[in-house]
Chain A
Amino acid sequence: MSQSDKNQQRREEPRVQNQPGGEQSWTPQPRTQGEPTSESIGTIQASAQVVALERQHPGPATYVRIAVVLAVITAVEVLVYYADAFRPFLVPTLLLLSALKFSLVVAFYMHLRFDSKVFRTLFAFGLVVAATILVALLLINSYHGPVPGAGVA
């Protein structure tokens, strides 16, 4: 059974709560007034799927926590930049902190940690190509020296 089928099944089940002694109580769901139209049914179905999505994605409290972490990392980056003690390993430290911020935004704000693997693969492909271009250009440049004419204003 797929995840969407499970979610559909969960939505269709009435709220049955187990009581002490093995008895079950049923909590009636709020009723909408008037006859349901095809539009209202569609809206309710879409909303139910949105709720199902919400179960997968983190809530506002997690988003705020991530924002605090991002702000703290940015502050640490600036402090590291100005701290003389970090001079010998400034670049790796800054790149590491930047990668951490990048990962947090992609994983939690862009929901890549919770969404389909297809999206993850697609985005990773773009990142790998970009990184390859970067490394290749830097290597070519370091072997062959400055491009002829480079540096001329």
Chain B
Amino acid sequence: MRQVDAPGAAHQTTTGLDSRKLLMWAFLASECMFFGTLISTYLVYRGRSVSGPTPHEILNIPLTSISTFVLLMSSLMMVLALAAIQRGDMGKFRLFIGLTALLGLTFLGFQVYEFTTFSQEGLTLQTNLFGSTFYTLTGFHGAHVTVGVIWLLSLLGFSYTERMRPEHSLRVEIAGLYWHFVDIVWIVIFTVVYLVGSY
């Protein structure tokens, strides 16, 4: 089905699909490969560190479970924001998009706390293979979350101008796709790195 964002932005495509949404899905497919290689590297080097700290010694499962829950709830807020702007309810849209960004920032706060604690306990990027692969993988994920939060806050800011109206809901949908992707990557990281990794 062909989708239209702004009235002036309507355009025909050979696929009948909006090019911007197609581009985002192509980007997400490439991101799957990117994170796939990082997760593969982590798994290949799992258990190969000759010095500590090891995942079992250092990973804090209860704390990470809470941050995982926070990120899952941010995904809920994101779809509720999309549903709100599609209904034309700008007030609810601002509320939910703001909450999504806030939960994203909370998740980042958990990650900063975790990295600081690990560093104090002796795990740095250079300590061992676990440190190198762990910080690279979770650090890149954190960078993606940071980009997502900036994107969400810019949408919130634009909603107070004419540049973000209900007819621009596709922009929110595309931002949502990125945000949910960040969420599903964390779903995999939480299981592979934290639960299976520290087992």
Q: Which residues of A contact B (CB under 8 A)?
A: 2-4, 7, 39, 42-43, 45-47, 49-51, 53-54, 56-57, 59-60, 63-64, 66-67, 70-71, 74, 77-78, 81, 90-91, 94-95, 97-98, 101-102, 105-106, 108-111, 116, 118-119, 122-123, 125-127, 129-131, 133-134, 137-138, 141, 146-147, 150-153
Interface centre among B32, B126, B176, B196 (most CB of A within 10 A): B32
Question: Closest A-chain residue to B28, C-beta based?
Answer: A123
Instruction: Assess A126 versus B181: contact at CB under 8 Å? Given A63-B83, A81-B195.
Output: no
Q: List, sorted by A's number, 22 A–B pairs whose CB atoms are closer than 8 Å.
A: A2-B1, A43-B165, A46-B167, A47-B88, A50-B86, A57-B83, A60-B83, A74-B65, A98-B188, A102-B188, A105-B183, A118-B17, A123-B32, A126-B30, A130-B33, A130-B36, A134-B39, A137-B43, A138-B40, A138-B43, A147-B44, A150-B129
Main secondary structure of the interface of A (DSSP, over half): helix
Q: Is B2 an interface residue (CB 8 A)?
A: yes
Chain B min CB distance to A45 (Å): 7
Determine if B36 and A4 form an interchain contact, defined as CB atoms under 8 angstroms apart.
no
A116 to B73: give the CA distance in the assembly, Å. Answer: 26
The answer to whether B80 touches A63 (Cβ under 8 A) is yes
* Contact B26 A122, beta carbon cutoff 8 Å: yes
B160-191 vs A, Cβ < 8 Å mask (1 yes, 0 no)? 00000111010001001100110110011011
B102 interface residue, CB < 8 Å from A?
Answer: no
With the chains together, A54 CA to B6 CA distance in Å? 16
Q: Does B72 reach chain A (CB closer than 8 Å)?
A: yes
Q: Are A47 and B80 in contact (CB under 8 A)?
A: no
Q: Is the CB of B199 within 8 A of A90?
A: yes
Q: Please, how many angstroms separate the alpha-carbon atoms of A127 and B29 in the complex?
A: 7
Given contacts A123-B32, A126-B29, contact A64 B76 (CB under 8 A): yes
B residues within 8 Å of A by Cβ? 1-8, 10, 15, 17, 21-22, 25-26, 28-33, 35-37, 39-41, 43-45, 48-51, 61-62, 65, 68-69, 72-73, 75-76, 78-80, 83, 86-88, 126-129, 165-167, 169, 173, 176-177, 180-181, 183-184, 187-188, 190-192, 195-196, 199
6 closest A-B pairs by CB:
A130-B36, A126-B29, A42-B7, A126-B32, A98-B191, A46-B167
A78 touches B180 (CB 8 A): no
Prevailing SS type, chain B contact patch: helix
With A109-B78, A110-B180, A119-B21 known as contacts, the answer to whether A134 contacts B73 (CB < 8 A) is no
Residues of A within 8 A of B176 (CB): 109-110
In-complex Cβ contact of B166 among A47, A70, A95, A102 (8 A): A47
Q: Are B75 and A109 in contact (CB-based, < 8 A)?
A: yes
CA of A7 to CA of B188 in the docked complex: distance in angstroms? 38
Return chain A residues, CB-CB under 8 Å to B191: 77, 94-95, 97-98
A131 touches B36 (CB 8 A): yes
